[in-house]
């Protein structure tokens, strides 16, 4: 019995994480930048859903989606042309949209790309948005969050499957990341084994963006002392994700009990509630502070409220979340303004969150 090829091993790993039976009869939008990871994912999904003799043809579809940020001029246009030819090779529909080259900050780029994907999901009636994030991407995300300040759930990395957003209109859309167990080198090796091309983004070598610095400088330095650092961190991330999954029901209950209304977001003051909002707590009215467990649950519930409201999370560090929890428990100021122009006001019974309309110069 011969050993499977690197490409077959790669496809088997995708099948294990995301069986073709789950998406062959629904619509999938595949985000494809032209880089190795997204190209490998697209090729694998296209092959998995290809009609085969003697079997019922799949009733689903794949749409290839490429957002051209135009940050690199002709090179960016070359990426778009590459993705278009790749989609044509597999007979797939392709959608390409160009962004504003002047909007170079990470948040604007992410928001524009996200709006593009959301529009395609709705227009085509697709179920999944498939993204080619790898194990290395997940490790970089966790390190980035740690250095900015994050809670235990932030160290769980990105989920392999999650709703596109918490908004009710997006309840049918799921983001799928079936490559989180696969390393970047393994993915490239799989593509080389079938002589498949991809595009290299030269800007990934620039350390202007912090994520690139983590990739290009921090992780290689760590691996000089700990050669298997990425694999070890990935195992820790998986353990955190399992813990996060177990905590979800507690967070659901917290929001159900403490949220007075969703818009404007209004939460009960926890120093006015027996038990501080946590079942089983021996609450003392004069304690005026959250226990570490209560703080962890409250912060992750707040993150979910932010996500539902569509407010920016990137600039919210752990110290911001801690200050909000302090307000909920009756400490700290009665008013503050958080990143993203979110105003927080506390009255006798509740804490109210309102995001001001952005002011443009």
Annotated binding-site residue numbers: 33-38
Q: Are 269 and 332 in contact (CB under 8 A)?
A: no
The span from the CA of 118 to the CA of 126, in Å, is 10
| Largest Cα span, the chain | 73
Annotated binding-site residue numbers for ATP: 33-38
Distances (CA, A) of 103 to 109, 172, 250, 262: 7, 30, 39, 31
Q: Rounded to an integer, what is the distance from CA 44 to the centroid of its chain?
A: 21
Helices (H), the chain: 6-17, 36-48, 74-89, 106-124, 135-148, 184-193, 210-213, 219-225, 229-258, 292-309, 318-328
| CB atoms near residue 272 (< 10 Å) | 15
The span from the CA of 126 to the CA of 23, in Å, is 10
């Amino acid at each position: 019995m011969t050993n499977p090829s690197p490409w077959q091993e790669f496809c088997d790993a995708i099948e294990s994480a995301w069986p073709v039976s789950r998406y062959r009869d629904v619509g999938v939008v595949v985000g494809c930048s032209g880089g190795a990871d997204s190209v490998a994912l697209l090729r694998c999904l296209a092959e998995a859903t290809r009609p085969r003799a003697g079997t019922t043809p799949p009733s689903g579809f794949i749409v290839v989606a490429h957002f051209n940020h135009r940050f690199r001029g002709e090179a960016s246009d070359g990426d778009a042309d590459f993705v278009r030819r790749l989609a044509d090779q597999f007979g797939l529909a392709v959608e390409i949209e160009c962004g504003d080259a002047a909007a170079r900050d990470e948040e604007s780029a992410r928001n524009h790309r996200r709006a593009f994907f959301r529009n395609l999901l709705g227009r085509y009636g697709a179920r999944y948005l498939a993204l080619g994030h790898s194990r290395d991407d997940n490790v970089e995300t966790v390190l980035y969050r740690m250095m900015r300040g994050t809670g235990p759930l932030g160290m769980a990395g990105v989920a392999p499957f999650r709703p596109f957003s918490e908004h009710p209109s997006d309840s049918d859309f799921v983001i799928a990341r079936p490559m989180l167990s696969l390393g970047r080198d393994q993915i490239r090796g799989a593509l080389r084994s079938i002589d498949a091309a991809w595009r290299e983004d030269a800007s990934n070598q620039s350390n202007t963006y912090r994520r690139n610095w983590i990739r290009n400088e921090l992780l290689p330095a760590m691996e000089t002392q700990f050669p298997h650092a990425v694999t070890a961190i990935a195992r820790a991330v998986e353990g955190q994700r399992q813990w996060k999954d177990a905590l979800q029901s507690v967070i659901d209950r917290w929001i159900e009990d403490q949220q007075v209304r969703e818009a404007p977001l209004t939460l009960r003051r926890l120093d006015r509630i027996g038990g501080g909002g946590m079942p089983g707590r021996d609450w003392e009215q004069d304690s005026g502070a959250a226990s570490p467990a209560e703080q962890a649950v409250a912060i992750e519930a707040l993150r979910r409220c932010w996500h539902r409201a569509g407010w920016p999370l990137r600039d919210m560090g752990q110290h911001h979340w801690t200050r909000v929890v302090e307000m909920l428990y009756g400490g700290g100021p009665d008013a503050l303004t958080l990143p993203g122009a979110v105003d927080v006001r506390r009255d006798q019974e509740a804490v109210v969150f309102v995001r001001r309309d952005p002011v443009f110069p």
